[in-house]
Homo-oligomer: A and B are copies of this chain.
Amino acid sequence: MPPDDRPSPRRRRAERNDRALLQAAREVLAEDGTHASVAAIAARAGVGIGSLYRRYRTKDELFQRLALLSVEHWNDAAARALEDHDPWRGLAGFVTACAEFGQGTLGAIAGAIAVTDEMASASARGDDLLAALVVRAHDAGVLRPDVTPVDVTLLVEQLGRSPLVDQIRKQGRDDLLPAAEAARRRVIAVAVDGLRAGHPAPLPGAPPPLSLFSERWVRARPEGARRHRAGDG
């Protein structure tokens, strides 16, 4: 083993800054969506703009790294869920972990950044892991039978952002944050319990198609000429 695994105070501070930057980016992205600014991210992280730009050459590069880490967190959570012998506890824990991690904040930059090969392959692996989780739960009869992996993914995204927490953080009411996060966990628990088997009425409509996701990450239409005329024709 290398005896010098304490890299250097210099490097340690840089790594801490990097973590702070990524966490700040998640928070600002949750609050400001597409309009999240690098200045806001740097300020939230307590780091200068210059430091941010030494680590990431552009804003897009920062967001790409954020997206990759998010997919990897998804995969880790799914792999850990599969190790749990209880199919329901595994699936419920997976959804809860992803939701609390803030998986839903990524929707804001979908279509705004380029998808790297690394992201695509990690995401494909995530799809397989989730499919395995869902199949196992279905076989055990603990998951309501009309739920598909796409439904689960959408639920994770839906729960992965808390308007309450985001807004309280934006207002700087740090005193209310713990209560807001606790409240959020209750809402997540309610929604996750809705996945259980044994509901009287089936889900409405047909299962959602996979294309809903595959098309989400293509770059947005270059020209924003949507017409919604309200005039008198």
Q: Which of B174, B182, B218 has a CB less than 8 Å from the CB of A205?
A: B182
* A208 interface hit (Cβ, 8 Å): yes
* A75 interface hit (Cβ, 8 Å): no
Pairwise interchain contact A46-B229, C-beta atoms closer than 8 A? yes
Q: Mark A136-153, 1 if CB is under 8 A from B, else 0.
A: 000000001001001100
Pairwise interchain contact B186-A151, C-beta atoms closer than 8 A? yes
Q: Shortest CB–CB separation between residue A162 and chain B, in angstroms? A: 7
* A35-B35, A229-B46 known; A189 vs B204 contact (CB < 8 Å): yes
Pairwise interchain contact A111-B189, C-beta atoms closer than 8 A? no
* A8 interface hit (Cβ, 8 Å): no
Q: Which of B17, B110, B195 has a CB less than 8 Å from the CB of A167?
A: B110
Q: Which of A60-68, A77-85, A113-121, A209-217 contacts B (4 or more CB under 8 A)?
A: A209-217
Which A residues from 148 to 203 make CB contacts under 8 A with B?
A: 150-151, 154-155, 157-159, 161-164, 166-168, 170-174, 176, 179-180, 182-187, 189-196, 199, 201, 203
Pairwise interchain contact A164-B212, C-beta atoms closer than 8 A? yes
Which A residues from 30 to 84 make CB contacts under 8 A with B?
A: 31-35, 44-47
Pairwise interchain contact A167-B107, C-beta atoms closer than 8 A? yes
Pairwise interchain contact B172-A189, C-beta atoms closer than 8 A? no
* A11 interface hit (Cβ, 8 Å): no
Contact residues in B for A17 (Cβ distance below 8 Å): 230
Contact residues in B for A104 (Cβ distance below 8 Å): 163
Pairwise interchain contact A13-B155, C-beta atoms closer than 8 A? no
Cβ-closest 5 pairs across A and B: A194-B194, A183-B208, A20-B230, A107-B163, A191-B191
For this complex, 15 residue pairs linking A to B, each with C-beta atoms less than 8 Å apart, are A32-B33, A32-B35, A33-B35, A107-B163, A107-B166, A154-B164, A157-B163, A161-B163, A168-B212, A168-B216, A171-B216, A171-B221, A179-B212, A193-B194, A193-B199
Binding site for B on A (CB under 8 A): 9, 13, 16-17, 20-21, 24, 31-35, 44-47, 104, 107-108, 110-111, 144, 147, 150-151, 154-155, 157-159, 161-164, 166-168, 170-174, 176, 179-180, 182-187, 189-196, 199, 201, 203-209, 211-212, 215-216, 218, 220-221, 224, 226-232
